[in-house]
Amino acid sequence: MAKTLSRAERNIRWLEKHIRIPEGRFFGQPIKLAPFMKDDLRAIYDNPHGTRRAIISRGRKNAKTTESAMILLLHLCGPEAKPNGQLFSAAQSRDQAAILFELAAKMIRMSPVLSAFAEPKDSGKRIVCRGLGTVYRALSADAATAYGLSPALTIHDELGQVKGPRSSLYDALETATAAQGEPLSIIISTQAPTDADLLSVLIDDAKKGRDPRTVLRFQTAPAELDAFSVEAVRAANPAFDLFMNQDEVLGMMEDARNMPARAAEFENLVLNRRVETSNPFVSRKVWMENAEEPNRDFGERPVFGGLDLSECNDLTSLVLVAPEDVEAGTVWDVRPHFWLPGEGLAAKSRMDRVGYDVWATDGFIEAIEGAKSIEYELIARHIRDVCDEMNVQRMAFDRYNFRHLRPWLLKAGFGEEEIDAKFVEFGQGFVSMSPALRTAESLLLNNKIRHGNHPVLTMCAGNAVVKKDDAGNRKLTKAGSRGRIDGMVSLVMALSVAEEYVPEIAATSPWDDPNFQLMAG
């Protein structure tokens, strides 16, 4: 009696029977799926819960696009095809969208059987299987928005290129599947640079295992492995010992070792690590080492603040810190507060590619209802409440917008003497910021801060990079035009004025050691 094949094994057999390698040194040979590819298909198609979404993330040159093209053909004209099914691939650019189409088209044209059923159409990047009525189309983010579609299969190609937690194309396709009985989305990509990017959000959610219909196939070089080691390369690249050009990959590793400017790109694209291509003030690793939940009861402890007042419609931040003596020495608990105008919040979220509206719903940002701009009266009242509730010693502020806040502080109940005693002018240039950065980095590198991974503050930390003047003084600046660093500026100011209370917090810094100059490492 013949053995009944599982759904995945049936698909594997079909692919190895009909697909020939479309390019490269093994061109024209019948495809023999690598063990990791077979495992991907088994995870997707033999999932007892059924698979709604599969995320495949590993380093470059592991034939991710080839695997995507094969999955596409399974649903276009293979055993997974459903009559009149609409199939799509989504990419961030027209050129990227064309790659998957062209690879699938080559596979069809090289197969006498498949070419009799499926017809690639170069204009419009479409493939039509007339007998079944199935149609595939390649879409890109720079084309018209993809509403009005009903995808049975969507392949999101290199979703790691999406900056921020949202993509209009991704949202349009993922919300268009209601008419399908068993829609399937395949996300196939190297990692995104930051925790706040869409692919990172999806991967981190999948790791929690809350939805058994989500399959995660994830290879990355663990943080404990030396980036410039064969072990690290092998961990993120299952094809390394199979069909990758090892000399080429190891050559890239040596280039990155010898040229630090290439190291971040190598770690991201080859080791499949979450690595900023810019050089942040504080690395994600160091920041997360300080992510312990703070003791939010400041009680009678001395409190210090940093206030970064925005222009009328931007992010305003107040970050408070208070010392707590623990066994390993004084640590600083952090309590941030953020404000944004409530009107147009969704549009601002899309523009900045950040989930302000979600954070407002979750209580991490105070969205001022109905307001088009930040009302300094509200900020002044909040500060009055803080000073009444806590033992506030000093609060640093940027002098530029404070002139607009001062009248409202007086109206909120502050006297002139109290304002002069508590509020400290803090310049944003190199001279003021350079010693303040030294204080903050010393605490961060020694794990003396507890920020609780507050998402808005974490976003600001990830966006903050260092700029130097000719004398070597430093200040914070933004990594990109949309990035916000207000919360990090507030934290740095708060810790700087706190140094007057505990001066030894910045007595020594690992940055004094020339071997410890790469905080972002």
Note the pLDDT of residue 83: 95
Nearest to 355 by CA among 190, 488, 201, 159: 201
**Which pLDDT tens digit goes with each residue over 459-483?**
999 888 888 776 778 888 876 646 7
Integer Cα distance of 438 and 471 in angstroms? 15
- Cα separation of 24 and 31, whole Å? 12
In this predicted structure, what is the pLDDT of residue 271?
96
- Determine the 3-state secondary structure of 362 from DSSP: coil
Is residue 461 within 8 Å of 285, Cβ to Cβ? no
CATH number for region 7-218: 3.40.50.300
Q: Where are the domains of the chain?
A: 7-218, 222-275, 284-516
pLDDT of residue 507: 43
The residue type found at 391 is: N
Which architecture, in CATH terms, is 284-516?
A: 2-Layer Sandwich (3.30)
pTM of the model: 0.65
- In this prediction, the residues of the chain whose per-residue pLDDT falls under 70 are 1-2, 142-147, 259-261, 276-279, 311-313, 327-328, 470, 479-482, 501-521
DSSP, collapsed to helix, strand or coil, labels residue 269 as helix
**First and final C-alpha spacing in the chain:** 59
The whole-number pLDDT of residue 279 equals 61
3-state secondary structure of 330: strand
Can you give the pLDDT at residue 432?
A: 85
The predicted pLDDT at position 518 comes to 33
pLDDT one-digit tens code per residue, 477-513: 876 646 789 999 999 999 999 987 665 554 443 334 4
- Cα separation, 71 vs 84, in Å, equals 17
**Residues 210 and 177 sit within 8 Å (Cβ to Cβ):** no
Residue 29: CB atoms within 10 A of its CB come to: 10
Q: Is 389 helix (H, G, I), strand (E, B) or coil?
A: helix
What is residue 313's three-state secondary structure?
coil
List, in sequence order, every beta strand (DSSP E) within 360-480.
366-368, 391-397, 423-425, 449-450, 464-468, 474-478
Element (H, E) at 96: helix 94-109
Geometric angle at alpha carbon 221, from 441 and 455, rounded to 5°: 45
Please tell me the distance from the alpha carbon of residue 86 to that of residue 74, in angstroms, as a whole number.
13
| CA 491/CA 225 separation, integer angstroms | 32
pLDDT value at residue 519: 34
